[in-house]
Amino acid sequence: MDRLWHCQGMPAPTSRTSHDTDATGDGPGAGAAAAPVGSAAEPAGSAGPVSRPGPIGSSGHFGLTGPGPTGRAVPNPARQASIRNANLALLYRLILDAPAPISRASLAAATGVTRATASTLADTLLEAGLITEVSPPPATGAGRPAAGLVPAAGGPAGLGLEINVDYLAACVVDLTGAVRSTVIRHGDQRDRAVSDVLADLAVLGADATAEAGLGIAGAAVAVPGLVENPHGRIRRAPNLAWQDFEIGAELRRVLPDTPFEPVIGNEADFAALAEAHAGPDTYVDSEARAVLGTQTADGAPGTASVEQPIPLTDFLYVSGEIGVGAGVILGRELFRGARGWAGEIGHITVEPDGALCRCGARGCLETVAGLEALHRDGPEAAAPGLGRAAAAAVNLLDLPAVVLGGVYARPEFAALVPGVRKALAEHVISARWAPVTVHVSRRGTAAAVTGAATAVVRRVHADPAAWMSAALTA
């Protein structure tokens, strides 16, 4: 019982069985309801460990309305439902993060509840199609090995859609994080009616969905501009010459009904998130090993005796297209700014007397390092301006790495990298002690649309109960 949490002022539960009955949130009693993970529900004064997420079935004051007339706690159904939902999310997270199929017994052990409780929660996820059961490996010793639980590759998937200046794209990512289909159609989208662009996008989405053969939980649309949710308002997409109108209603009209409503977001933000949640080996190149990606056996940075790949968790992602955008990743999460508009690196001034930008200002980064400038002047000419703009962001935010994505990841523009690295070395004030590493995205142009699809999948991962509820009413 030492792993369970006990609410201050409440007696510790004496029966593991009755305790666990309540842990799903469905039990009739509520004397020992669970503390949801990662929420304010962790009981103060808990006698349990504090360094790990609150275990399923832990004791707490949630789910209670206080003592009833007899002095016994009485259940509150709404709170019990929220407890169950939080516990489902915790169990799902354990299954998602497990390096191999995980058994019900292991889930119970990891969370401190009985196998019966873990099984009840797992069955809920199984019935919802969010996980699946795989056969156990052949027995190697005494006893029958248990079946393992894994995310369901055939479960509800995320549909990513992207509107960019010179192409449209659609992508389906399944619950395991695997990209199941990607469709890209090149063609200039400028001077087209928005309704025509969205209609084409919907066709592309239908093609990608058919190719993947999966049900869709929801769609996320990446656009190259400043966007606002929940109404899907595009404040400004200068390279598309789109300004101040909502596409949310039109998207709902042209896209099939899905449990989650479609959302829109900035393309560089989605791309940055896709990079942040790529595998841990994504950025391990020779430079990363030399500077960031190694540590000695005792964990100290420096000359490595044991090389260990370390994923980047904090970086500036710069996306080159016709325009230039950026996403700031801190602790593997996107830094959005006060209104969700952070990352407009393309309109940092790099040449005050430079060419007129589509935003109306002069000498923006886009005018020297957008795709048209790259084609016109070559990557060597674009690199110093790109590096100076990146250095400004790095100086401001203390970021250890820069990832070049979009068209910057194309081999034909590989000459950007040394120039950007040189500019960072010259302009980042801390570079002498902590050189900023420069990496090329491995996702390239598909990063934004993959990130959009992944954002939907992450929403299912984070709150499986919300998806189940939305699926019931869709």
Q: Which residues bind Zn ion (CB under 5 A)?
A: 347, 357, 359, 361, 364
CB of 357 to Zn ion, least distance (A): 3
User: Closest CB to Zn ion among 347 and 388?
Assistant: 347
Dig out the tokens for 383 from the structure.
């690199």
User: Closest CB to Zn ion among 349 and 469?
Assistant: 349
Dig out the tokens for 29 from the structure.
């009693």
Whether residue 132 contacts residue 154, with contact meaning beta carbons closer than 8 Å, is answered with yes
User: What are the residues whose beta carbons fall under 8 Å from the beta carbon of 13, sequence distance 6 or more?
Assistant: 1, 4, 6, 19, 31, 32, 59
Specify the 3-state DSSP secondary structure of 288: helix
- What's the gap between Cα 221 and its chain centre? 14
User: Cα(190)–Cα(173) distance, rounded to whole angstroms?
Assistant: 28
> Which amino acid belongs to residue 220?
A
Other CB atoms within 10 Å distance of the CB of residue 167: 18
User: Closest CB to Zn ion among 102 and 357?
Assistant: 357
User: Closest CB to Zn ion among 96 and 359?
Assistant: 359
Helix (H) or strand (E) holding 40: none
CB of 100 to Zn ion, least distance (A): 49
User: Closest CB to Zn ion among 78 and 241?
Assistant: 241
DSSP letter at 343 equals T
Torsions phi, psi for 98 (to 5 deg): -65, 135
User: Closest CB to Zn ion among 271 and 324?
Assistant: 324
CB of 39 to Zn ion, least distance (A): 42
The CA dihedral of 12, 14, 20, 22, to the nearest 10 degrees, is -70
In the block, tokens 């407009």 appear at 344
User: Closest CB to Zn ion among 254 and 392?
Assistant: 392
Whether residue 432 contacts residue 255, with contact meaning beta carbons closer than 8 Å, is answered with no
CB of 366 to Zn ion, least distance (A): 6
In the block, tokens 């873990």 appear at 118
User: Closest CB to Zn ion among 52 and 376?
Assistant: 376
CA separation, residue 381 to residues 368, 440, 444 (Å): 8, 18, 21
What helix, strand, coil percent values describe the chain, rounded to 5? 35, 20, 45
User: Closest CB to Zn ion among 357 and 424?
Assistant: 357
Q: State yes or no: cis peptide before 400, omega within 30 of 0.
A: no
Taking Cα atoms as reference points, which of 396, 407, 288, 302 lies closest to residue 342? 396
Whether residue 273 contacts residue 451, with contact meaning beta carbons closer than 8 Å, is answered with yes
User: Closest CB to Zn ion among 61 and 347?
Assistant: 347
CB of 372 to Zn ion, least distance (A): 13
User: Closest CB to Zn ion among 97 and 244?
Assistant: 244
Other CB atoms within 10 Å distance of the CB of residue 173: 28
Taking Cα atoms as reference points, which of 245, 237, 430 lies closest to residue 321? 237
